[in-house]
Amino acid sequence: MNPTLADMLKQLRLSGLSQSLDVRLQEATSNRLTHAEFLELILQDELSVRHDRQVERHTRAASFREQKTLEDFDWDFNKGVKRKQVFDLAAGEFVRRHRDLLMVGPPGVGKSHLAQAIGRALIRMGFAVYYRSIFDAVRDFLHDEAFDGHDRVMAKYLRPDLLILDDMGMKHLPKKSGEFLFEIIMRRHEVKSTLMTSNRPLEDWGKLIGDVPAATAILDRFLQAAEVIEITGKSYRLRGGGRPEKEPPGPTAP
């Protein structure tokens, strides 16, 4: 590539095209591509690089606790997880329809893994996702309320196409938790999608939040447009490795 062309591509910020241009020129010559075919190839290269960068940027912004995917989930270990149902959710239709999702089940059955994996899949499809544990979400509001930052924090929770609130039931929440959670659920209701996970029965939410009326209001609003998935079965953590991932195949019999 001559320096003038390289400089022009840099000015136009066509780095994907720049990286592949020499190879594409050789390919065009070898395969006698038409001008239109050549142009289509180099534009596809540029779009691919831009998409990958966008996915990387949005994945960082999502603040996932772990980099989990559907591909590394061990579907054979716990038959209580319905693979087709999860992949249907990862296709994003519930987000397009502004529906909500609640995953309920005992600790260790893979709820957090699946929630984050669905989020990552949706990011690759162009959706904005934000992940927080319930406790961290409440702490965000309690911290910034002291500095008059409520509106700024709330905007961060209202903006994404999918908000994931993980780990309801891991610990009792501080005072005013019910108020913050209800405002999040109420303002996202039928406008954006929310995915929540819980390892405690819904009737226990009042105790966890410390506010039975607020818990009732949250569930009444949230469940109105939510799909509820109950996950039962064995705990991945008690298996020994603590990770719901595929295990390597055993030795082949002679």
| Cα–Cα distance for residue pair 175/210, rounded to 1 Å | 7
Q: Please report, for residues 22, 94, 101, 163, 250, the alpha-carbon distance to residue 226 in angstroms, rounded to integers and kept in the order given.
A: 51, 9, 5, 13, 40
Backbone angles phi, psi at 67, to 5 degrees: -90, 75
Domain ranges, ordered by start, for the chain: 10-61, 64-239
118 vs 180, which has greater pLDDT? 118
Q: In terms of DSSP bridges, do strands 100-104 and 162-168 run parallel, antiparallel, or are they unpaired?
A: unpaired
Just give the CATH number of 64-239. Answer: 3.40.50.300
190 vs 170, which has greater pLDDT? 190
- Model confidence at 142, pLDDT cuts 50, 70, 90, reads confident
The confidence score (pLDDT) of residue 174 equals: 83
Residue 158 has pLDDT above 80, yes or no: yes
For 61-103, how does the pLDDT look when each residue is reduced to its tens digit (9 = 90+)?
Answer: 999 999 999 999 988 887 778 899 999 999 999 999 999 999 9
The confidence score (pLDDT) of residue 60 equals: 96
For the chain, strand residue ranges (E) read: 100-104, 129-133, 162-168, 193-198, 226-230
The confidence score (pLDDT) of residue 144 equals: 66
Q: Tell me if 150 sits within 8 A of 141, measured CB to CB.
A: yes
Count the alpha carbons within 13 Å of 189 in the hemisphere toward its beta carbon.
16
The token duo for 33 is: 């591509």
The confidence score (pLDDT) of residue 124 equals: 94
The confidence score (pLDDT) of residue 61 equals: 95
